[in-house]
Amino acid sequence: MLCIDFLAKTIEKIQAKNFTRLINPHYLTIIEGIGPKIASLLNEEGILNLNQLSKTKLKNLQGILDKAGTRFRMHNPKTWQQQALSILENKKQFKNQEKKSLDF
C-alpha cells in the first residue's frame, strides 16, 4: 500500500510540473482568439504575458487590432482578459497543490 501511495504522489507531481510547463505566462497564444500574429501585435505594444494582458483595457486591445488593419477587426478581444485571469488563477492553485504534494 505504501508503494501505491508513493506512485500516486509521484504521478501527481509529474502532472503538476507538466501543467506548469504548459501554462507559461508568456504564452499568449493559449488564449482563445489569439494566434501567433495577434500575439506578435500585442508584444509590439508591450503586452508580453498573461498578467499584462489581464490588466489591459478592452478598448486598448480593440485599438491594437483596429490599428493593425481590417484583417484584424473581425477578432473580438472581449474575453481575453478573463481567460488570462482564469489561467493565472489556475496556475497559482496548481502551484499550491504541487507544494502540498511535496510534503509527504
Give the model's confidence band at 16: pLDDT under 50 very low, under 70 low, under 90 confident, else very high.
low
Q: Which domains does the chain have, with CATH numbers?
A: 28-98 (1.10.150)
Question: Given this model, what pLDDT does residue 10 score?
Answer: 55
User: pLDDT per residue over 57-104, tens digit each?
Assistant: 999 999 999 999 999 989 999 999 999 999 998 877 766 665 566 655
Instruction: Tell me whether residue 84 is exposed, middle or buried, using C-beta atoms within 10 angstroms of its C-beta: 0 to 12, 13 to 18, 19 or more.
Output: buried
Q: What is the DSSP string of 62-95?
A: HHHHHHH-HHHHT--GGGHHHHHHHHHHHHHHHH
Is the per-residue pLDDT at 7 higher than 90?
Answer: no
